């Protein structure tokens, strides 16, 4: 699969480092982003062909998407002059965006009718994982297509997990994002309470890392909070979108998800306050504001 051109659409916070790692692994790229200046930020420009429209990327044997949300993916794939109309039979589309599992299954079906292979492959690990090539990749689709795409996944990820049929990768991603959001809000409440009561947050973190409250939020996001660095990272806006996907799936499947509904309101409140572009760890600032304290490292 090496020595081939890969089409890549979406050079944002995650897409740019993923595309860069593909170049470093020896692939050539046909790249498109709505912000054309982004293409110039890629390394090894001699291996990059800039596309001026998404359909120009369809000349590649494999096309990868890393787009913000379901509407953008549907437009690029199914819209007028989209990839569905322009990709050749037996080519492969890999969607690494985090979007609706329902929409993913619809896209997979329409691509299959045209003889185009498809994998949904959302990722976890944030911007640092994208930069370092250590992402966890959750993949849904046909097993033989998954096996064929391994060189691509290995160039950008560390844990590559086959989750099942089309849409399975997106379902696992929705579950992951839902749990991480609930963890973030739980940690924000608990640490704001503890600091208000007079205990240093780094002491609480040290203790809880060895206790039953240990979680990703405590390990990965609390150090960011203690340093008061709320630049993304993974934004409040994007995490809110993922929680909404979980609520939509729960509604469709008639599964009650009480905590998720409350967490969604917390994240929406941060958006209303103009903090949607901040790192998701900034959720704690809502609790700090109401409690009149800051969870920061003691000097």
Is 173 labeled as catalytic in the residue annotation?
yes
The per-residue b/e assignment along 5-22, b for 16 or more CB within 10 angstroms, e otherwise, is: bbbbbbbbbbbbbbbbbb
Residue 35, both tokens:
């912000």
**Cα separation of 266 and 259, whole Å?**
11
Q: How many CA atoms lie within 13 A of 115 on its CB side?
A: 6
User: Which of 105, 173, 275, 278 is an active site residue?
Assistant: 173
Q: Give this prediction's pTM.
A: 0.91
Domain 172-291 belongs in CATH node 1.10.1040.10 = yes
CA distances from 22 to 43, 45, 98, 280 (A): 10, 13, 20, 27
Sequence-ordered list of residues with C-beta below 8 angstroms from that of 297, at least 6 positions apart, any chain:
201, 202, 226, 227
Cα separations in angstroms, 98 against 1, 41, 43, 72, 224: 25, 23, 25, 11, 24
Residue corresponding to tokens 């390394």: 43
CATH assignment, 5-166: 3.40.50.720
Domain ranges of the chain: 5-166, 172-291
Say yes or no: do domains 5-166 and 172-291 share a fold.
no
Taking only the tens of pLDDT, the chain with its 299 residues reads 456 799 999 999 899 999 999 999 999 999 999 999 999 999 999 999 999 999 999 999 999 999 999 999 999 999 988 999 999 999 999 999 999 999 999 999 999 999 999 999 999 988 889 999 999 999 999 999 999 999 999 999 999 999 999 999 999 999 999 999 999 999 999 999 999 999 999 999 999 999 999 999 999 999 999 999 999 888 999 999 999 999 999 999 999 999 999 999 999 999 999 999 999 999 999 999 999 999 999 86
């Amino acid at each position: 699969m090496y020595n081939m051109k890969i089409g890549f659409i979406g050079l944002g916070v995650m897409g740019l480092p993923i595309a860069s790692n593909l170049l470093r692994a020896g692939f050539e790229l046909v790249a498109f982003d709505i912000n054309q200046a982004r293409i110039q930020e890629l390394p090894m420009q001699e291996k990059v062909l800039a596309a001026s429209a998404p359909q120009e990327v369809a000349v590649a044997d494999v096309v990868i998407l890393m787009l913000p949300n379901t509407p953008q993916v549907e437009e690029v794939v199914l819209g007028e002059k989209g990839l569905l109309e322009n990709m050749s039979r037996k080519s492969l589309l890999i969607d690494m965006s985090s979007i609706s599992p329902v929409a993913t299954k619809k896209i997979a079906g329409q691509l299959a009718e045209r003889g185009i292979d498809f994998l949904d492959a959302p990722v976890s690990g944030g911007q640092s994982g994208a930069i370092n090539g250590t992402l966890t990749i959750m993949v849904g689709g046909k097993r033989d297509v998954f096996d064929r795409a391994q060189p691509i996944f290995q160039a950008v990820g560390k844990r590559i997990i086959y989750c099942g049929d089309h849409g399975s990768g997106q379902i696992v991603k929705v579950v992951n994002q839902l749990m991480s959001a609930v963890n973030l809000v739980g940690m924000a409440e608990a640490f704001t309470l503890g600091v208000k009561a007079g205990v240093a947050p780094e002491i609480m973190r040290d203790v809880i890392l060895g206790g039953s409250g240990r979680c990703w939020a405590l390990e990965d996001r609390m150090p960011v909070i203690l340093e008061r660095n709320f630049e993304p990272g993974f934004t409040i806006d994007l995490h809110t979108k993922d929680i909404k996907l979980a609520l939509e799936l729960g509604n469709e499947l008639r599964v009650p998800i009480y905590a998720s509904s409350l967490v969604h309101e917390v994240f929406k409140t941060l958006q209303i306050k103009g903090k949607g572009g901040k790192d998701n760890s900034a959720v704690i600032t809502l609790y700090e504001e109401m409690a009149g304290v800051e969870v920061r490292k003691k000097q």
